[in-house]
Each structure stands twice: as C-alpha cells, then as structure tokens.
Structure 1
Amino acid sequence: MTSTFKTGVPCWLDLGATDVDAAVGFYSSLFGWQAEDMGPESGHYRLLRKDGKQVAGLGQATDAARGSSWAIYLKTDDVDATLNLIGKHGGTTVVGATDVMDLGRMAVCQDPAGAYFSLWQPAAHPGVELVAKPGSLVWTEVYSTDREAVTPFYEEVFGLRHTDSELPGGMVYRVFTQGEDGVIGCMQITPDMGGMPSAWVPYFEVEDVDVVGDAAIAAGATELMRDTVPAGRIAWLVDPQGATFCIMKPDPTFAM
C-alpha cells in the first residue's frame, strides 16, 4: 500500500495515555470511535476507527515526565535520512529509527524549540484513512517558544514553505505549505499563554463544537478556550489525563 501523503505532512497521530482503557472510553464517547486491540506483539496498541476507517492510535504513555500527550507523525520517505537532517538543523533525536512490525518505520524527535513530533515512513500502514470529516483530524498546529528559529528548521528538513497572515488583535498566523497546500499552522507562544511549552496540537472536526465541548467537560475534561475564529468555531480542551487537543467546526467559506 502506497501513502498519498506528501513529505512533511501530518499523516498519523496517536495518544500516549496513562490509562489506556479510560482514554478509549473518553474519546469514543466524543467522536464515535471504535477501538481495536492490536494484541501483545504491539503492547496492546489500539487502532481507532471512525466508520471503519483508521483515524488515530492509542497506547500506553512511555514518558512519565510528559504524561498523557498526543503525538503528530510527519511523513517521510526515509526516516534515517530525515534524522540526519534534523540533527544538522538543530533538532534532536529522542527515539531513533525503529521498525514497527511490517507497518512502517518511525522515530521520535524534538525541534530546536523543544516541540516533540514523530516521523513515519509508511510500509503496510500509510497513515490516517479519514481526514476533514466529523470525528477525524482536520488540522494541526505547532506552538513554539521561538517560531523564527523553528521555521527554517521545518523548511530545510521537510521542504516546506510558509505564508503569514495577520489575525484580529495584530497576531500573525503562519501556515507551512507543501506545494500549493497549506498543511500545518504555526503560532508563536506569547506570555498570556501561561508558560505553555513548545508543542504540537491536533484539531478534530466535529459537527457542533458546543455540544461536543460540553460533553467533554461533563466527562472530566478541562476547557482552556472556546471561540469563533476566521477558520470556524473551535475549543481547546485538556482530557482527563492531561493531554491537550482541540475540536473544530470549520467555516466552509474559509480557505487556509
């Protein structure tokens, strides 16, 4: 099976959870996901599906210092070559290139400002099978303590480019592009964000942000923000185990 994702584009995501069963219950109730246990060979990693299509993965958190967190995987045709570029341009390899059964090859890295992300070189598993539909990934952003430092990093490592646009209030929103497509948002962390570390954040599409956001809070999540922005209505949430994620109802008239 051949991946249709371009280099540097988010192609997979998974949650490292401190309580896997509780996380399955929480997210399944929000998004209508079905979980498949991949068995002991995978450490009981769960594949999460929406309407039969793979949308994410879920496994046991392995880093006690980070706790529960979502990981974004960027597509590469050669993990080992990409790791060389990451080191050359100021990034760090956290977990070196590893084969995942017959599914693909991966690694875990940090950019120069400390944001964790992963690499995925597809084999039998190309990545998510459903995007930009309710219950699936619709957008990703990287929040950075030093956006000007990480911009050339992502461009040199993955061949991305960027465009900037001004938001209400004078903030500048940066979009990394691959070819003609806007593929990743990039925001500078500001003092009013409460000391947020550099991090990647996934956005899941929903049909009604207010209904899903209220359901998440009732199930134990904490809401950080809910607002209507040019791209649509959004809410920032922290799940009951501490992983940050966003939900979004896109404005169909908005073009990234």
Structure 2
Amino acid sequence: MLGTEFHTGSPVWLDVASPDPDRTAAFYGAVFGWRFTSAGPDAGGYGYLQKDGATVAAVGRLTEQGARPAWMTYFRADDVQAAAGTVTSAGGTVRVAPMTMGEASMAQFTDPQGAQFAVLRSGQGLQRTSQDDSLVWVELHTGDPESAVGFYHRLFGWRSAEMKAPGMTYRVLSIAAGDQQEGSFGGVAPLQDSPQARWMPYFAVADVDATATAVQDNGGTVLMPPSDLPDVGRVAWLTDPTQAAFAVLKPNPRGTAQA
C-alpha cells in the first residue's frame, strides 16, 4: 500500500506536464479540491498541487518538442546515475539525463515497451497518499507484461504476484523490501484502450461516479465509465482537458487497492 515512507522503487513523486498549467491546476482544483502553490519565481511555472496543505502532486509546463500532456510517475532511486546505466543496458532509453537540483537528483526514461517514467533521489516526496484525493496506485499498461516485469525487477528489484482478472492476468507489484502485500503499490496490465504503453496514476476518491461527472463538467473526458471490479473496488479512467490520462478508485472495504 502506498505510504509516505519511501524505499527504493517506491512511487515518490508525481507531476503532470501541461501546455497550460494554470488551466490544468484549475481543473484538478475543481475535481479533487487541490490548491496550486508555486515552486517559486525561478521554477518556470512549476508548482505543487496540495490537499489540506499536503503536497499530493505537481504540475509543470510541457516543453518537450512533440510530447503530449501526460502524468509522470517518479520512483525512488538511491543512485540516479547507476539507474540510467541499468535502464540503457536493459533495453530502455534515457530521455532526460541525470541532473542535480539542489540536494535532489532525477532522470527520465522510457522502458523497452515505450512507457515513460522517472527516478528521483530526494529526502522529500509526496506528503499524502492512499487517502481521498491523493495517489493510491500506479498501473503500467504494456504490450509485453512479462518482459516489463523483468525490466523493472532488474532496475528496482520489484517483486510481482499474478492474479486473475476478467479477461487477463494481472501482475501486482511490490517493492523489494519488507512484506510483499504491505509493499504493493501498483500493477501491470496488458494494453487495452491505448496503442502506447504508459504508466497510469490512480487517485483515491470517495465517489467515483461523482468524480467522473465533475471531470466532464470541467472539460475532461471519460475513457472508461465507472465500473465495479471484483475484489478491487469501483474505478473509472479519465482525462483532463489536455488529454492527460488518469484513473480514480474507491477501494473495496478491505482496503487493498489492487486495480
């Protein structure tokens, strides 16, 4: 389960790249009640999205030529430079070379199937997870789940466990340290709605149907309408007005988010 005590391979940060950060921040404010706080005058418009004063995500300006608006998941790495070398040797590519930002360092990669992700070494991270209106799960949609699991195991040491889901085999991911179930944070699913492999963030919400309506009312779209998944909860796949995809989840009462 996602928390705010981060270990190697834990989702530690999350941001969305937008051609219009102000509009994007207003959208998520209307949907989740997030408030935007600037990272400062030298941050190029980058800022934090906060709920009750706690940072749950961030938003920045889309600057990469030819790139589409999208959410980016950052996983904790102890050595960003070493992570870049592992990604390259395992068949992935380095999109943004390792860089230092004060006491933190980061890099952005593309895995061998085409899914983009990032790594971050920092003493800080998301301040609220696994509560309503915050990140609760991350999910990789990929054309070759078995190869993807092997790639990320080599990079982060992640463990995986197979579970049967309607029409597919779903792989639940957990960090290398500690209890496997307690350390679970995401999953791997075969490509369904998109030809492009990608990481999809899931945000916990109190009411999936009301959230989907709020998304549509504020210029977003519904990719998959609210649906009940056995032993999981109620989910919906959505996009913001720039077409950055995300999902929402109301976990089942047992509290295990395995979307």
> What residue is the counterpart of 2:160 in the other structure?
162
What residue in structure 2 maps to residue 206 of structure 1? 205
Which residue of structure 2 aligns with residue 223 of structure 1?
Answer: 222
Gap change, CA 1:69 and 1:222, over 3 Å in 2: same
Equivalent in the alignment of 1:59: 60
Mapped to 1, the partners of 2:60 and 2:187 lie a distance apart of 26
- Native 8 Å contact 1:9 1:184 kept in 2: no
Partner residue, 2:147: 149
Matches within 5 A, 1:105-144: 105-123=105-123, 126-144=124-142
5+ residue gaps, structure 1? none
CA distance in 1, matches of 2:42, 2:100: 13
Distance of 2:98 and 2:42 partners within structure 1: 18
Partner of 2:30: 29
Size of the aligned set, in residue pairs, is: 247
Q: Aligned residue for 2:189?
A: 187
Residues 110-136 of structure 1 show CA distances to partners (whole Å, capped at 9, x for unaligned) of: 11101000110014xx11010011110
Higher mean C-alpha deviation, range 62-71 or range 145-154? 62-71
Query: What is the identity, as a one-letter code, of the residue corresponding to 1:212?
Result: T
Query: Could you tell me how far apart the structure 2 residues matched to 1:252 and 1:86 are?
Result: 38
Contact 1:110–1:116 at 8 Å: present in 2 too? yes
Instruction: Determine if contact 2:21/2:45 at 8 Å carries over to the other structure.
Output: no
Cα displacement string for residues 18-58 of structure 1 (whole angstroms, at most 9, x for unaligned residues):
11110010001111111111223211211111111111110
Q: Which SS does the other structure have where 1:42 is aligned?
A: coil
Cα distance in 1 between the residues matched to 2:164 and 2:135: 25
Pair 1:53–1:254, CA change in 2 (3 A): closer
Report the TM-score when normalising by structure 1. 0.92
What do the CA deviations read for 1:37-85 (whole angstroms, capped 9, x no partner)?
1223211211111111111110001224232110000101110111111
Structure 1 vs Structure 2 CA RMSD: 1.4
Q: CA deviation at 1:254?
A: 5.2
Question: The residue matched to 1:82 in structure 2 has which SS?
Answer: helix
Which runs of structure 1 show a deviation greater than 3 angstroms over 4 or more consecutive aligned residues?
none
TM-score of the superposition, structure 2-length normalised?
Answer: 0.91
Q: Percent identity?
A: 36
| Structure 2 unmatched runs, 5+ | none
